[in-house]
Amino acid sequence: MVKATYYGHSTMAIKGKGAELLFDPFITPNKRASHIDVDQLRPDYIFLSHCHGDHVADFSTIQKQSGAKVVAVVETGDWVGKQGVSQDKITAMNVGGTIATSFGKAKMVSALHTNSTPTGEYAGVPVGYVLEFEGKRIYFAGDTALSMEMQLLAGEPLDWAFLPIGGFYTMDTDDAIKAARFIQCKHIIGIHYNTFPVIEIDEEAAIHQFAAAGIALHLLKIGESITL
């Protein structure tokens, strides 16, 4: 059984029989996630979509306490190394690359956004990931606008996709529906919404909007899990 757990903003965990993954750890600065105990998180892998502060704030703490392997684009990987992570724990790859892992495979794919370190240095391009995880094909889009590149994922096929829906910094619900059609995925888990006032959404309206398009939008409460 593969389970996904939402920790707020874009922070997702995916757990199966052999591995636990954590994406874009941003928990302690998020008031909505104040009930989440970061000290209890022990992922085997941390995947970073980019290096903005609202995606890496808890990265160092969680990596040190877990010894997790870190996957990131090359320049973000350089930043990871400067945070004291040993090179044998870092996979600094680039768009189009695929790696074999303990859980299956992970491919780095394009995202349309910006990317810099929390102190403003260049951190490469933003990315997403397509995972083969214990029999499931899962797309974590990271922070992205709607992009024609997404149509290249239509042939995967994808069982689940994590898409940003909050707008302003990323896609909104209208564009996320188009993205779901581009990637031909019927089960979407929303990320990157409601953390800040500018990305607040009407959750019920969003679910109905997706349903009208024939797509299931799953909006998890912070700390809630779903079986994929």
What is the pLDDT tens value at each position of the chain, 228 positions in all?
999 999 999 999 999 998 999 999 999 999 999 999 999 999 999 999 999 999 999 999 999 999 999 999 999 999 999 999 999 999 999 999 999 999 999 999 999 999 999 999 999 999 999 999 999 999 999 999 999 999 999 988 999 999 999 999 999 999 999 999 999 999 999 999 999 999 999 999 999 999 999 999 999 999 999 999
> Residue 155 has what pLDDT?
85
Is 3-227 a CATH 3.90.1150.10 domain?
A: no
For CA atoms 31, 32, 38, 43, give the dihedral sign.
negative
Around 154, how many Cα atoms within 13 Å sit in the side-chain half-sphere?
12
> Residue 56 has what pLDDT?
98
> Residue 125 has what pLDDT?
98
| Residue closest to 128 by CA, chosen among 67, 191, 65 | 191
Q: Strand (E) positions, 78-198?
A: 90-93, 98-100, 104-110, 127-133, 136-140, 160-164, 187-191
| Residue closest to 48 by CA, chosen among 19, 18, 78, 28 | 78
**What radius of gyration, in Å, describes the C-alpha atoms of the chain?**
16
Helix, strand or coil, per DSSP, at residue 202: coil
> Residue 38 has what pLDDT?
98
Contacts 24+ apart (CB under 8 A), 200-206: 200/166, 201/165, 201/166, 201/167, 201/172, 201/173, 206/165, 206/173
CB-based contacts of 59, cutoff 8 Å, min separation 6: 25, 46, 48, 70, 80, 83
- What is the rounded distance in angstroms from the CA atom of residue 34 to the CA atom of residue 222? 10
> Residue 33 has what pLDDT?
98
Question: Angle, nearest 10°, between helix axes 173-183 and 203-212?
Answer: 40
State pTM to two decimals.
0.98
| Residue closest to 14 by CA, chosen among 153, 160, 217, 145 | 160
CB-based contacts of 61, cutoff 8 Å, min separation 6: 28, 38
